[in-house]
Amino acid sequence: MTQQSLAEVPEYNDKSLRDFGDSIAPVLLISSNDKLLNVGMKTFGSHYKVMAIGRLNSFNYSSLDMPLKAIVLDDTVSQNDTIKILHALGNNAYNKNLPIIGLTSAINSDLAAILGDWDNAEIISRPFSRKKLVNGLSSLLNKKVRDRWTKIDAVNKMAMEGCFTLFNSIPDTIANGGNVIFSDIKENTNPIIESIQMGVSRELLDSLVGFDGYTFSHCLKLSVLLTKFGDNIGIKGDDLKILAAGGIVHDLGKLEIPFDVLNKPGKLDAEEWAIMKSHVTKTSHILRTRSDVPEDIMVIAEKHHEKLDGTGYPNGLKGIQINDLARIAAIIDIFSALTDDRPYKNAMSIEKTFKIMRSMTGHIDQHFLSLFIESTLDNMSVEMH
C-alpha cells in the first residue's frame, strides 16, 4: 500500500525490477545518495509509482526492457553507468524515448553532456525544490499534450498553462509552510470563465485528453463543468469565479494520498478506503490553515462527497444540512469521476453515466441533476435514449 522504503531497496536485479508491481509503469530513481533518494520518494510518491535504486554494481541492465514511466538519476551515477542505462533504454521499443531527468550540481556537468543526446531529457541543477522536481518531470511526461496547447484558442491556452503552473506550485508551497493565496487561484479562473462565455470550453476539456496527472485533470475538468453549469443557470460575476476556483482546489488533499491508494486497480480494502476518504479533511486543512479562501469554496471542498441520506463523508451530513452549492458540486464530481478513465475502470459514456446518476435518488439532488443533464445535453448535443 505504501511506497517502498530505502531499507527495502538496497540492491536490485532484473527479477526484482520485473516483479516490482502491476501494469502501472514506475518512475525509476537512481542515485547512490540516500538523502536524494528519500527526497525523490517523498516528492514523487503521491504522483507516481516509484522505485528507488541505490546500487548499480549488480544491476542487470537488460531488465530495463520493461515499461517505465520515466527515470530520474543524478551525478552520483558514473558516466559509464549512465551510458549503459541509455544504451539499454535505446535498445527496446518501450523506453527508447523515455523521459529522463538529470539532477546535477552544474548545468554543464558530464551528466548534462551525456543526456544532451537523449531526445526527451531535462537537466535540473541544485538546489532542488519540490516544485522544480515535480514541474520538471510533469513537463517531460506531458510534452506532447502541452505541445497541443500551443495550437488551441489563446484563452484556452492561458487557462491550461496558468492552472498547470498554479497546481504544480501548491505542493511546494505546502511543504514549505506557505499559504495558498486565493487571489492567485482567482486570477486563474478568468480564462476559464472567458472560455465558457466564448463557447470554446469544449476545446478546453479536450485539451486534457492524454494528460499525465489525474488530480490536476479532474480538478480542472470539475472547475470547467461547475462553472459552465453555473453560467447556464444564470450565476454571474464573482459568484462564477467562486465556482471556478472551488473546482480547481476541491481535491488538493489528493496530492497527499499515496499513489498506490489513489490509483489502485482493484477494490480498496477498509484501511485504504479510510486513507482515500481522508483527502477531504486534508483539503480542508490546507485551505483553512494556509489560505484566505471564501467560505463557499470551503463548502465545495468539504461537502462534495456528502449524500442526502447521510451515507456520505466525511461528516455524514444529510438533507437540509447539505446546501445547494454542495449538492451541485456533488453531482458534477460524480459525473466527472464516472466519465474519466482510471486504472480501475474505463470511462463511462454520458448516457450510461446519467442512467446511473438518475438511480441515485437517495444520494444526490434529482432536481439539480435534471438541470445538469439538460444543460449538458444542450451543450454537447448528446441524444439520450
Domain boundaries for CATH 3.40.50.2300 within the chain = 6-141
Nearest CA to 254 out of 281, 294, 227 is that of 281
pLDDT range class, residue 380, cuts 50, 70, 90: low
Cα 317 from Cα 309, distance rounded (Å): 8
Cα 114 from Cα 40, distance rounded (Å): 22
Cα 140 from Cα 121, distance rounded (Å): 7
State yes or no: pLDDT of 238 exceeds 70. yes
C-alpha cell of 120? 526527451
Within 13 Å and on the Cβ side, how many CA atoms surround 355?
A: 8
Residues 6+ apart with CB under 8 A from 83: 114
What pLDDT is attached to residue 230?
Answer: 96
What pLDDT is attached to residue 382?
Answer: 37
To the nearest whole number, what is the mean pLDDT of the chain? Answer: 86
Determine the topology of domain 6-141 in CATH: Rossmann fold (3.40.50)
Neighbour count for residue 44 (Cβ, 10 Å): 25
Cα 55 from Cα 57, distance rounded (Å): 6
Domain boundaries for CATH 1.10.3210.10 within the chain = 143-380
In the chain, DSSP finds a helix count (H) and a strand count (E) of 18, 5
The model's pLDDT over 269-279, given as tens digits with 9 standing for 90+, comes to 999 999 999 99
The model's pLDDT over 64-117, given as tens digits with 9 standing for 90+, comes to 777 889 999 999 888 888 998 888 888 777 788 899 999 998 777 889 899 988
Using the 8-state DSSP alphabet, how is residue 26 labeled?
P
With pLDDT > 90 as the criterion, what percentage of the chain qualifies?
51
What pLDDT is attached to residue 21?
Answer: 45
Dmax over CA atoms of the chain, in Å, equals 67
Cα 311 from Cα 316, distance rounded (Å): 6
**Least confident among 9-18, 124-133, 167-176, 348-357:** 9-18
What pLDDT is attached to residue 63?
Answer: 73
- Does this model's pTM top 0.75? My answer is yes
State yes or no: pLDDT of 168 exceeds 70. yes
Nearest CA to 248 out of 218, 220, 276 is that of 220
Cα 194 from Cα 196, distance rounded (Å): 5
In the predicted model, what is the mean pLDDT of residues 1-26?
44
Identity of the residue numbered 334 = I
State yes or no: pLDDT of 322 exceeds 90. yes
Residue range 143-380, CATH number: 1.10.3210.10
The model's pLDDT over 177-226, given as tens digits with 9 standing for 90+, comes to 777 888 888 888 999 999 999 999 999 999 999 898 889 999 999 999 99
Structural element, H or E, at residue 71: strand 70-74
**Least confident among 189-198, 290-299, 309-318:** 290-299
In the predicted model, what is the mean pLDDT of residues 157-165?
93
State yes or no: pLDDT of 43 exceeds 90. no
C-alpha cell of 88? 539499454
